[in-house]
Amino acid sequence: MSKTLIGGAVAAALAIGGVFHLLDTKPAIKQAQAAESQSAAAPTRTLRVALEGKYPPFEYINAKQQLVGFNVDVANALCAQIKARCEFKRYGWDELIPALQKGEADAIIASMSITPERQQKVLFTDIYTRVPGAYIAAKSEHIIWPVITAERIREHTVGVPSDTTFDDYVKHELEPAGIKVKRYPSAEDVFAGLKAGEVQIAFGDSAVLADFVRNPENAKSFELVGNKVQGSKWLGQGEAIALAQNQKALRDELNTALQKLISSPTYGELQNRYFVFRVL
């Protein structure tokens, strides 16, 4: 997400007091040439976007301390369409919905899955990704089964990010069968637990797990194992933007912007930039 495709500009995110603002890094000569068109489409408002920022490749802090990733680029593309300036603020995963309810944020763009429980608290837009679950494991465990079942991993401990649809899945599909589960605050913490040997298997977002093992250093010791998990009622209906329940006009506005983005070449370019498979 260190680069945004909006208008061909390259954007860098700078943290100021916990809020991330976009800084246009276009060459000055191009700025001058495009001044007139930029003025016509200048942002007229601010959209406060809440996200976790610990969920690569969707959102994370890079080596330059910039907030980057797929969700950031999607948010910026949508803001450009609705003539708004995105203002990003990071929260813990379990703090995202409360931040929305308290009026601290206008939208959650953090790969939040639609579930009946969440629909009682927030208003969702149309989905912009639908990503299945998957498993990774230490290579030393020699897990070779094409399909993971509770019986096959009975001797292993599974790590999962807490209070997520992936947590719901293991809670209903693995724990009742006696599988030991260790919960972590974030996907990054799951990976840390995996590296520390606290768990032997991790279950979560397939795009996030694939990104983890794409790192050559991680690939030395860990690998994707078993099958992708999709179609389970515990994994939700797809990922969407969450809004306050009284924001129907904003929902409709963002749905229109999402339809345009998803049908444009930009969305395909973003998928290719961040993922090794389609996310919608």
Per-residue tokens: 63: 């080596």
For the cut 60, the answer to whether the pLDDT of residue 45 exceeds it is yes
Give me the pLDDT at residue 1, please: 42
pLDDT tier at 25, thresholds 50, 70, 90? very low
Averaged pLDDT, 178-199: 97
Q: What percent of the chain stands above pLDDT 90?
A: 83
Nearest to 240 by CA among 88, 80, 126: 126
Residue range 210-233, pLDDT digits in tens: 999 999 999 999 999 999 999 899
Q: What is the mean pLDDT of the chain?
A: 88
> Strands 19-24 and 11-16: what pairing?
antiparallel
Give me the pLDDT at residue 271, please: 96
Give me the pLDDT at residue 42, please: 79
Give me the pLDDT at residue 44, please: 87
Q: Set out the domains of the chain in order of their start, with CATH numbers.
A: 6-130+238-274 (3.40.190.10), 133-235 (3.40.190.10)
What letter does residue 65 receive in the DSSP assignment?
S
What does the CA dihedral 45, 273, 162, 241 come to, rounded to 10 degrees? 30
Question: Which residues is 158 bridged to in the sheet?
Answer: 181, 201
How far is it, in rounded angstroms, from Cα 53 to Cα 119? 23
Which has the minimum average pLDDT: 99-103, 204-208, 231-235? Answer: 231-235
Give me the pLDDT at residue 41, please: 62
